[in-house]
Chain A
Amino acid sequence: MSADAQEPRTAGPLTTSIRASGSANGRAGARRPTPRLLVTALVLTLVAIGATFLLDPYRNYQFALIAATFCATAGLTLLIGLTGQLSLGHAALMAAGGYGYALASNALTDAGVDGVPRFVVSLAAAVAASALLGLLLGLAAARLKGPYLSGVTLVLVIALPAFTSVFSGVFRGDQGVQIAYDGVPEALRTLIAVEQWQAWVAILVAAAVVTWLAVLRNGPAGLGMRAVRDDETSARLQGVRAGRVKVLAFTASSIAAGAGGAVLCFVTQSVSPGAYTLAFSLLLVVAVVIGGLGSLLGAFLGSIVIVMLPWVIQTATGALDLSADAAQRLTGNLPVLVFGVLLIVVTAAWPGGIRGVLPKRMPRRGASATPSAVVPAPDNVPELDSAPAPAPEPRTSSAAEPIPTTTER
């Protein structure tokens, strides 16, 4: 497996470096200097904004959707890739952000605020709402593992329509909350169309969110997350506060999802439970899996796939000569079928995802390979509980020898 070569899989070296960094200055874990990362982010953002001039309005609209989705998938890929927590409910966290944005935006509109201040305050409200929900879930997640956490988040996203109908005074039930239209600011009105403006906003928010996530990943917090993922017991012995690290990861991930939900609400001027179904939640998982778990670039490519492929299929079936009923069945289900097959094939045969087959960045320093193509953690999450796991690969054996009792509780 190519992934194995890139990152030391055993817990030993990783945790050793934590100890070293603790005694040095606490920043030795950073793998890539932050200024350099910021410059990269700035350049990429400018390129993306420049690209909007080359696209027609509908493409810009799709670009905005991709950027909004990218916020959520970036958070999700770090959550799964760095900490091994699989959330099936990120759509619900996006919805929390969307509702936070919509409700704050409507309150501000009533108060006579509009334009950029309204957007910024509403975005802050969205982030606060999703951070709160993420914190609550994260507190539960810190005590749960594997399938338990997946199940809780799955139930959350299924219960979302129930929440919006039970509290329909606030959330307006199935029809959702509509917000006022945000036009292009005065100064730019002669220059760009509204779709392009929406794409700009989406790109800027996505850039801010993803840069923040990248800084987090490359810093000591990210190191702690990987240590907990690789071997929680060993990480605790090194002084990493496993519970706190997991809560932080989940909260950060849900803030990113909430920002994505806010942008989607800004672009579509509405938020409703119908937009954040279980199917959409699973699509987010598809995006990060086929992109390559843990990779931000992979999350971006995955977002493009999940936004564009349904549209491509719809266009293709529209071109075929089908009866209305058959066409409807195909457009609704064919993308899901393709995504399901992709999910199975990629996980089973090609665990690095798209990112795994792209050329790698030149390694900067000895052990600082990108975490991109890292599989969720095949052999490095020791199965603490399970009945004697079928023969662990020899290379993880010494470090991964589980000491079940310490992590019980």
Chain B
Amino acid sequence: MDRLLFLLATGLARGAIFALFALALVLIWRAARVVNFAQGAMAVVATYVAFAVTGLTGSYWIGLASALVAGGLMGLIVERGVMRFATHASPLSGVIIAIGVVMVLQSLLGIAFGPNARPMEAPFPETPIVLGGVPVLSPYDLFVLVVAIGLMGVLALLFTRTSLGLQLRASAFAPEVSRLLGVRVARMVTAGWVLASAVGALAALLLVPTELGLNPHSADLLFVSAFTVAVVGGLDSPPGALIGGLVVGVLISLVTGYLGATVAPIAVLGLLVAVLLVRPGGLFAATEARTA
């Protein structure tokens, strides 16, 4: 019972990270109708930046800020520099170009830093707090939950309460009409990419200290889990990403705790196939939103 409680709590913290990363996928999907397969690699680049900055300045928080900035820059560069060429082509060409970006970024990181994992320090202790004799969450997990939920709240406010959010939503849903009404749609697409990449970078930065360490492939599994989250939630639905993230996080935590870490990818695959076979558009997507 204690163990179950602990696994559930850890799963929620992990799920919050998945939800953040999935939210980044959803943002780009809504802005540009592309599933950004390069999200993981882009986030790892930003995490390397944070790692270097933290190493230089000794401050985790400056590192965190630099990861957000680097993530946003990556989004800008990838969207303006590469993905722009894919937009008018088929849905496949976006995926193929994103895969090219993954290969380029990961190999560059591999050449620059080598394949070895570098340990990354968490800013808070990772040993669980014991509540009434039951180990529950570690302070770091708590920090992760607070940051993730806080950021999602900020994004929700941005999208529903500000002029920028209105323009972002308008250009995602009706680019032609928005253009006629004076919204600079191309700029909004770029803004969506920048925002999403920064969020993705933050998710990777939060995840890495709980894993073995930082290497060029650190975010591969994160991407896979987050893709599953986005599909479970429906690629069009930010609340779906949140709920899907918690579901997948708890599932992975339980499977890892009771059956071992090797089984986790199989559980993710099983969940993904089951959801897609039952509801190909995702559990939370409106029927007419089914697109790709």
Contact yes or no, A390 B276, CB < 8 A: no
Known: A159-B266, A349-B85, A378-B90. A140 touches B273 (CB 8 A): yes
Stretch of B10-18, B94-102, B134-142, B237-245 that contacts chain A: B94-102
**Chain B residue with the shortest CB-CB distance to A143:** B280
| Set A88, A152, A348, A377: member contacting B97, Cβ < 8 A | A348
Contacts of A289 in B (CB 8 A): 96
Say yes or no: is B53 at the interface (Cβ < 8 Å to chain A): no
Known: A150-B35, A151-B231, A282-B103. A347 touches B93 (CB 8 A): yes
Contacts of B3 in A (CB 8 A): none
Chain A nearest CB: distance from B271 CB in Å?
A: 10
Contacts of A377 in B (CB 8 A): 90, 92
A 348-391 to B, binary, CB cutoff 8 A, 1 in contact else 0: 11010000000000000000000000011111010111111111
| Set A151, A162, A341, A383: member contacting B272, Cβ < 8 A | A151
Say yes or no: is B265 at the interface (Cβ < 8 Å to chain A): yes
Say yes or no: is B21 at the interface (Cβ < 8 Å to chain A): no
Contact yes or no, B95 A146, CB < 8 A: yes
Chain B nearest CB: distance from A362 CB in Å?
A: 29
Say yes or no: is B197 at the interface (Cβ < 8 Å to chain A): no
Within the assembled complex, what's the spacing in Å between the Cα atoms of A156 and B268? 10
Contacts of B228 in A (CB 8 A): 151, 155
Say yes or no: is B181 at the interface (Cβ < 8 Å to chain A): no
Within the assembled complex, what's the spacing in Å between the Cα atoms of A388 and B33? 11
| Set B86, B101, B105, B276: member contacting A152, Cβ < 8 A | B276
Contacts of A278 in B (CB 8 A): 220
| Set A282, A330, A333, A385: member contacting B291, Cβ < 8 A | A385
Chain B nearest CB: distance from A87 CB in Å?
A: 11
Contacts of A348 in B (CB 8 A): 82, 85-86, 93, 97
The residues in B between 66 and 115 inclusive whose CB is less than 8 angstroms from any CB of A are 82, 85-93, 95-97, 99-108, 110-111, 114-115
Contacts of B144 in A (CB 8 A): none
| Set B107, B269, B276, B288: member contacting A333, Cβ < 8 A | B107
Stretch of B44-52, B54-62, B154-162, B169-177 that contacts chain A: B169-177
Say yes or no: is A334 at the interface (Cβ < 8 Å to chain B): yes
Contacts of B272 in A (CB 8 A): 151-152, 155
Contact yes or no, A162 B276, CB < 8 A: no
Say yes or no: is B264 at the interface (Cβ < 8 Å to chain A): yes
Say yes or no: is A158 at the interface (Cβ < 8 Å to chain B): yes
**Chain A residue with the shortest CB-CB distance to B228:** A155
Contacts of A86 in B (CB 8 A): 92, 95-96
Within the assembled complex, what's the spacing in Å between the Cα atoms of A88 and B101? 15
**Chain A residue with the shortest CB-CB distance to B279:** A143
Within the assembled complex, what's the spacing in Å between the Cα atoms of A111 and B236? 56
Known: A158-B221, A166-B262. A390 touches B111 (CB 8 A): no
Within the assembled complex, what's the spacing in Å between the Cα atoms of A163 and B269? 11
Say yes or no: is B184 at the interface (Cβ < 8 Å to chain A): no
Say yes or no: is B1 at the interface (Cβ < 8 Å to chain A): no
Known: A159-B268, A340-B103. A151 touches B35 (CB 8 A): yes
Say yes or no: is B212 at the interface (Cβ < 8 Å to chain A): no
Chain B nearest CB: distance from A346 CB in Å?
A: 9
Say yes or no: is A325 at the interface (Cβ < 8 Å to chain B): yes
Contacts of A285 in B (CB 8 A): 96, 99
Contacts of A389 in B (CB 8 A): 33
Contact yes or no, A337 B103, CB < 8 A: yes
Say yes or no: is A21 at the interface (Cβ < 8 Å to chain B): no
Contact yes or no, B264 A162, CB < 8 A: yes
Say yes or no: is A329 at the interface (Cβ < 8 Å to chain B): yes
A 204-226 to B, binary, CB cutoff 8 A, 1 in contact else 0: 00000000000000000000000
The residue in B82, B89, B264 that gathers the most chain A C-beta atoms within 10 A of its C-beta is: B89
Known: A334-B111, A386-B292, A387-B173. A162 touches B265 (CB 8 A): yes
Within the assembled complex, what's the spacing in Å between the Cα atoms of A337 and B227? 24
| Set A334, A337, A343: member contacting B96, Cβ < 8 A | A343
Say yes or no: is A94 at the interface (Cβ < 8 Å to chain B): no
Known: A86-B92, A146-B91, A375-B89. A282 touches B264 (CB 8 A): no
Say yes or no: is B193 at the interface (Cβ < 8 Å to chain A): no
Contacts of A340 in B (CB 8 A): 99-105, 107
Say yes or no: is A339 at the interface (Cβ < 8 Å to chain B): yes
Within the assembled complex, what's the spacing in Å between the Cα atoms of A158 and B115? 18
| Set B96, B103, B115, B268: member contacting A347, Cβ < 8 A | B96
Contacts of B82 in A (CB 8 A): 344, 348
Contact yes or no, A155 B90, CB < 8 A: no
Contacts of B290 in A (CB 8 A): 385, 408
Within the assembled complex, what's the spacing in Å between the Cα atoms of A341 and B107? 11
Say yes or no: is B166 at the interface (Cβ < 8 Å to chain A): no
Say yes or no: is A13 at the interface (Cβ < 8 Å to chain B): no
Contact yes or no, A336 B107, CB < 8 A: yes
Chain A nearest CB: distance from B35 CB in Å?
A: 4
Say yes or no: is A80 at the interface (Cβ < 8 Å to chain B): yes
Known: A148-B276, A339-B103, A341-B100. A388 touches B110 (CB 8 A): no
Known: A140-B276, A156-B269, A344-B82. A147 touches B91 (CB 8 A): yes
Chain B nearest CB: distance from A16 CB in Å?
A: 23
Contact yes or no, B265 A347, CB < 8 A: no
List the 5 shortest-distance A-B pairs measured between CB atoms, nearest first. Answer: A385-B291, A340-B103, A343-B100, A348-B85, A147-B35
A sample of 8 inter-chain contacts (CB < 8 A) reads A161-B265, A166-B266, A333-B107, A336-B103, A376-B96, A379-B89, A385-B289, A390-B87
Given contacts A152-B269, A329-B110, A385-B291, 18 further A-B contacts (CB under 8 A): A86-B92, A155-B269, A156-B269, A158-B221, A158-B265, A166-B262, A333-B108, A343-B96, A343-B100, A343-B103, A349-B85, A351-B89, A378-B88, A378-B90, A383-B33, A385-B292, A387-B175, A388-B174
